[in-house]
Amino acid sequence: MNGRLPLLGDGVVLLRAWALDDAMALLAGCREPDINHWYNLPSPYRYGNAVAWISDAEAAWSEGHDAYLAVTDAAMGEVVGAASLLGVDAAESHGRLSCWVRGARRRRGVARRALSFSSAVATFRYSRCA
Q: What is the mean pLDDT of residues 64-92?
A: 84
Residues in Cβ contact with 12 at an 8 Å cutoff, skipping those fewer than 6 apart? 73, 74, 109, 110, 113
Taking the CA atoms of 121, 127, 129 and 130 in sequence, report the sign of the dihedral they define.
positive
DSSP string, the chain: ---PPPPEE-SSEEEEE--GGGHHHHHHHHHSHHHHHHS---SS--HHHHHHHHHHHHHHHHTT--EEEEEEETTT--EEEEEEEEEEETTTTEEEEEEEE-GGGTTSSHHHHHHHHHHHHHHHHHTTT-
> What CATH superfamily is the domain 8-126?
Gcn5-related N-acetyltransferase (GNAT) (3.40.630.30)
**Which range has the worst mean pLDDT, 50-54, 78-82, 101-105, 116-120?**
116-120
List the end-to-end C-alpha distance of the chain, in Å, as a whole number.
12
Q: What is the mean pLDDT of residues 48-76?
A: 89
Supply the pTM of this predicted model: 0.81
Q: What is the mean pLDDT of residues 110-124?
A: 69
pLDDT band at 46 (very low <50, low <70, confident <90, very high): very high
Domain ranges of the chain: 8-126
Q: What is the mean pLDDT of residues 51-58?
A: 93
